């Protein structure tokens, strides 16, 4: 069964059930009230007749008294203890009551009875006759009027219930269409996406901000994200296949050469092994970088700790300086120790990437500067190398992009370093800025600023990327 029909059926059923419960409650409440009212009225009439009967006893014959107090739609009688010769007088329409068996009661009785499928009020009150014996004065009165009123009420409630179901069905149909319309639109859109292979969003009407509107917004956001990821995946696969093709071709060429002449020419053997080993290492490094870029930030296992930034930079510069035997100048603008909360390993990795880039593209000394301006902590890595054209700056963080392709190939670069650096910076809440001029050099600035508790990076770091 479709969701629309389910909503329509369940809504109508629940409303009908609720309406029936209300009507049944109303009916039985009113029924109880009207029947109790009839019984109370009959009891008052009995008390009045009993008082008048007592006053007229001995003055007027019993038969005459009873005839004068016969109910319009009932019976009056005197029942003695031995239940013999009990006179009974009925109205014209209730003569069958005289055939009902009489019962003597020792105390006052007030109740509802049923005789021949008709309802009556029954009142019995002890009286003392003229000869001193105890008897019952009993009045039986029809409740036909009250029963007819209840029958009419029952019929009215049934008709009201049936008539009310008509707008219920109509409104539930409208409600089901209103609720399922966005779902139907999503199904239609997803079907079109599946058939055409192109991503589409649904058109949102109005600005109600209800759950249905939010569901549509979420769907559109998901489609946009899928489309963006799909495009990135296509570009990524295309670039990766292109980049891996070159080292694989080199390895294949050298292995073919080794098969033909490797055993006869030791020098060629050594050259081939070196080239294969070099390309294999480059492929392994590139594969690790590709895997890292494929991971989401949440899979990086960010570990936040208090870090002394002055000490960290000093150690990092010293290690890099000794490893590559390069002249690196480290300067601290503010002498006071700068403490931040971040992932120390990820920050070191970020620094190594920019230091390595400065080393590759510059033969002169490298400068590293740590300082604080207003609420911002900054780290600058400055080189005096080939620099980057202004038109090239927006592209340097793209995967596999190289400014100087010939030199990058010679240095063994894959074009993934700055892409990884951008991913790391985003993950730990650091903004990266690049300033460069061709032939003069490049300055990479890492900006760190304390963020408000509501920042979107609160689950990753105590710093945020400035927008």
Give the model confidence (pLDDT) of 376-407 as tens digits.
Answer: 888 999 988 888 877 777 777 766 666 554 44
Instruction: Tell me the two tokens of residue 305.
Output: 């700790």
Do 3-150 and 211-294 share a fold? no
pLDDT tier at 415, thresholds 50, 70, 90: low
Least confident residue range of 225-234, 370-379, 438-447 = 225-234
Fold of 211-294: Helix Hairpins (1.10.287)
Q: Is the pLDDT of residue 109 over 70?
A: yes
Block residue for tokens 């600035």: 445
Instruction: Enter the DSSP assignment of 386.
Output: S
Q: Is 224 in contact with 201 (CB distance < 8 Å)?
A: yes
Q: Is 257 in contact with 268 (CB distance < 8 Å)?
A: yes
Average pLDDT score over residue span 71-76: 88
3-150 has which CATH code? Answer: 3.30.450
Q: Is the pLDDT of residue 374 over 80?
A: no
Least confident residue range of 160-169, 314-323, 334-343, 361-370 = 334-343
Instruction: Tell me the two tokens of residue 69.
Output: 């107090």
Residue 394: half-sphere exposure toward Cβ, Cα within 13 Å: 1
Q: Is 377 in contact with 431 (CB distance < 8 Å)?
A: no
pLDDT recorded at residue 466: 29
pLDDT recorded at residue 458: 33
Instruction: Tell me the two tokens of residue 81.
Output: 């203890």
How crowded is residue 133: how many other Cβ atoms within 10 Å of its Cβ?
11
**Which CATH architecture is the domain 300-449 placed in?**
2-Layer Sandwich (3.30)
Q: CA–CA separation, 363 vs 399, rounded Å?
A: 25
pLDDT digits (tens, 9 = 90+) for 3-29: 777 777 888 888 888 888 998 999 999
pLDDT tier at 171, thresholds 50, 70, 90: confident
Q: Is the pLDDT of residue 264 over 50?
A: yes
pLDDT tier at 361, thresholds 50, 70, 90: confident
User: In this predicted model, which residue has the larger pLDDT, 433 or 179?
Assistant: 433
Domain ranges of the chain: 3-150, 211-294, 300-449
Q: Is the pLDDT of residue 409 over 50?
A: no
Contacts of residues 134-137 at CB distance under 8 Å and 24 or more positions apart, as own/partner, are 134/81, 135/78, 135/79, 135/80, 135/81, 135/104, 136/78, 136/79, 136/80, 136/104, 136/105, 137/46, 137/49, 137/50, 137/53, 137/76, 137/78
Q: Which residues contact 380 (CB under 8 A, 6 or more apart)?
A: 367, 368, 369, 371, 443, 444, 445, 446
Average pLDDT, the chain: 78
Q: CA–CA separation, 341 vs 463, rounded Å?
A: 8
pLDDT digits (tens, 9 = 90+) for 325-339: 888 888 887 666 788
pLDDT tier at 209, thresholds 50, 70, 90: low
């Amino acid at each position: 069964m479709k969701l629309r029909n389910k909503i329509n059926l369940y809504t109508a059923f629940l409303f009908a059930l609720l309406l029936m419960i209300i009507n049944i409650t109303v009916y039985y409440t009113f029924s109880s009230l009207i029947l109790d009212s009839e019984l109370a009225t009959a009891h008052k009439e009995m008390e009045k007749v009993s008082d008048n009967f007592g006053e007229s006893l001995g003055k007027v014959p019993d038969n005459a008294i009873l005839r004068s107090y016969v109910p319009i739609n009932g019976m009056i009688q005197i029942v003695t203890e031995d239940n013999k010769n009990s006179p009974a007088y009925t109205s014209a329409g209730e003569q069958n009551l005289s055939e009902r068996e009489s019962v003597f009661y020792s105390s006052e009785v007030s109740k509802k009875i049923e005789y021949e499928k008709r309802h009556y009020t029954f009142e019995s009150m002890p009286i003392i006759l003229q000869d001193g014996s105890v008897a019952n004065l009993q009045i039986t009165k029809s409740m036909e009027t009250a029963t007819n009123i209840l029958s009419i009420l029952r019929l009215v409630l049934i008709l009201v219930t049936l008539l009310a179901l008509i707008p219920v069905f109509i409104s539930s149909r409208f409600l089901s269409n209103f609720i399922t319309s966005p779902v139907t639109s999503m199904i239609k859109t997803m079907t079109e996406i599946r058939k055409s292979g192109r991503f589409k969003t649904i058109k949102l009407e109005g600005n109600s901000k209800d759950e249905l509107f939010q569901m549509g917004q979420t769907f559109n956001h998901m489609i946009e994200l899928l489309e963006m990821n799909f495009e990135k995946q296509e570009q990524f696969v295309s670039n990766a296949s292109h980049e891996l093709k070159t080292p694989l071709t080199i390895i294949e060429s050298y292995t073919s050469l080794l098969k033909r002449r490797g055993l006869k020419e030791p020098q060629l053997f050594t050259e081939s092994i070196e080239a294969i080993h070099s390309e294999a290492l480059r492929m392994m490094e590139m594969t690790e970088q590709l895997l890292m870029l494929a991971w989401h930030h949440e899979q990086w296992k960010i570990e936040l700790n208090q870090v002394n930034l002055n000490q960290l930079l000093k150690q990092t510069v010293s290690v890099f300086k000794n490893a590559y035997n390069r002249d690196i100048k480290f300067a601290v603008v503010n002498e006071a120790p700068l403490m931040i909360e971040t992932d120390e390993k990820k920050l070191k990795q970020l620094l190594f990437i920019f230091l390595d880039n400065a080393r590759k593209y510059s033969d002169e000394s490298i400068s590293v500067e740590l300082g604080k301006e207003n609420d911002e902590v900054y780290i600058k890595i400055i080189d005096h190398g080939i620099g980057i054209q202004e038109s090239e700056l927006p592209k340097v963080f793209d995967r596999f992009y190289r400014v100087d392709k010939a030199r990058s190939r010679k240095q063994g670069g894959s074009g993934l370093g700055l892409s990884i650096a951008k991913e790391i910076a985003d993950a730990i809440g650091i903004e990266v800025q690049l300033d460069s001029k061709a032939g003069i050099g490049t300055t990479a600035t890492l900006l760190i600023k304390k963020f408000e508790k509501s920042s979107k990076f609160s689950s990753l770091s105590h710093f945020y990327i400035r927008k």
